[in-house]
Amino acid sequence: MRQAGKLLLIVVFLCLPLACEPAQSNPGDSGLPVCLNIHLPGGWQPLETRYLDTNGDNEQEAVILYRFDLPSETGQQGSPIRAVVYQIDEEELPNILAHELLTPDNDYLCECACALTMEDVLSGLDGPELVVRDQCNGERSRLTIFHWDSVQIKYVSGGHFHGHEIEVAPNEVRVEERLLDRAQLARRTIHHSSDGITYDWSRDELIFCHEEPQDVTSSPYPEKVVLSLYNHYTDTAKIQTYFTVAGWERLGQCDTGRCGCSSMRFEVAHVWVTDLRSEPENTISGSDRAIVTATVNCERQGGLPDGERPIRWSLIREAGRWKLDNAE
């Protein structure tokens, strides 16, 4: 008889209503017993059962969520959550096989509340994938993607991500992680799948955690001006207001490769910043001067790379506004 891993779960084919956890969705025509009396190892606490067609067989499988590493007190909130899929063994009816949903690094799936959906997120795989989201205080803090592999006879994780905010799109996952800095920035990591099967490359960039300030030059934090410059790098009318008059002319209106990209600005399609450091103003001669160092990546029209470059900005405060004055 084929085994479904080393999962220590015993399924008893009895319908005992008092022993059942309440189902969170309709079992429909799953082919499974309406009630599964499941005996879990000590220290495991079942949460709920969801019914989804997780393997593309046009029948609904039972996905059971459970908590483990339970505290000694009665409350379970915060204990990690994992999941097991129960499905019919088509080769040896009426057997039911248990498949635990495992991440590549054996991490847990959720901590607060698991949301399970079937979505087409990887174009190179047949049928929709099972997407598990952890939702804490309205934010998606973890996201895991699974697909059924009929050759390996198991659920394979296509990706496991965690951060303060996670968004998934076809062949792409964006993860934002809040940084503990005065400028209220976040690091966004974009994971991309070239073959539609695995996420094979990623790119980091710094972004404003909230919306960009309407008048960024009036911010007390000069690093915000530098980041905003690269957010609007090709908008001449806008970025000119970020410079002193002398600085704008000194740097050739940023059209000579002096502002971070070696290409002319009209040739640039996209700019992103991967590192941003501000020297403490009290270490610089005069409180109206600041030094900010940025690591800048540029991409030309047509997707051609323009390289990565560190650039050191000198800023001057004029009439209460931080202005870019020079770069090296």
Answer for the pair 185, 207: CB distance below 8 angstroms, yes or no: yes
Q: E-assigned strands of 213-288? A: 268-278
Distance (Å, whole) CA 144 – CA 123: 16
Length of the chain: 328
Amino acid 317: pLDDT: 94
Amino acid 29: pLDDT: 54
Strand order in the sheet with 154-162: 114-119, 129-136, 139-149, 154-162
**Helix (H) or strand (E) run with residue 239 in it:** helix 236-239
- Report domain 216-327's class: alpha beta
Start-to-end CA span in the chain (Å): 69
Answer for the pair 254, 264: CB distance below 8 angstroms, yes or no: no
Amino acid 37: pLDDT: 54
Tell me if residue 175 falls in helix, strand or coil: strand
Amino acid 284: pLDDT: 56
β-partners of residue 270 are 299
> In Å, how far are 28, 102, 136, 144, 319 from 107, measured between CA atoms?
31, 7, 17, 10, 52
Amino acid 64: pLDDT: 93
**Helix (H) or strand (E) run with residue 226 in it:** helix 222-231
Amino acid 96: pLDDT: 85
Domain boundaries, the chain: 10-164, 216-327
Tell me if residue 28 falls in helix, strand or coil: coil
Distance (Å, whole) CA 102 – CA 82: 8
Could you count the other beta carbons within 10 Å of the beta carbon of residue 135? 16
In order, the DSSP letters of 103-126 are -TT---SBSS-EEEEEE---TTSS
Amino acid 125: pLDDT: 95
Amino acid 255: pLDDT: 83
Q: CA nearest 50: which of 121, 133, 142, 156? A: 133
> In Å, how far are 97, 179, 199, 227, 279 from 84, measured between CA atoms?
10, 34, 24, 45, 51
Spell out the per-residue pLDDT of the chain, length 328, in tens.
Answer: 344 443 434 343 333 232 344 445 555 555 555 455 555 666 778 899 999 999 999 999 999 999 988 876 655 667 899 999 999 877 766 678 899 999 988 999 999 889 999 999 999 999 899 999 998 876 668 999 999 999 999 999 999 999 999 999 999 999 999 999 999 999 999 999 999 999 999 999 999 998 999 999 999 999 999 999 999 999 999 999 999 999 999 999 988 788 999 999 999 999 999 999 998 765 555 578 999 999 999 999 988 989 899 999 999 999 999 999 999 9
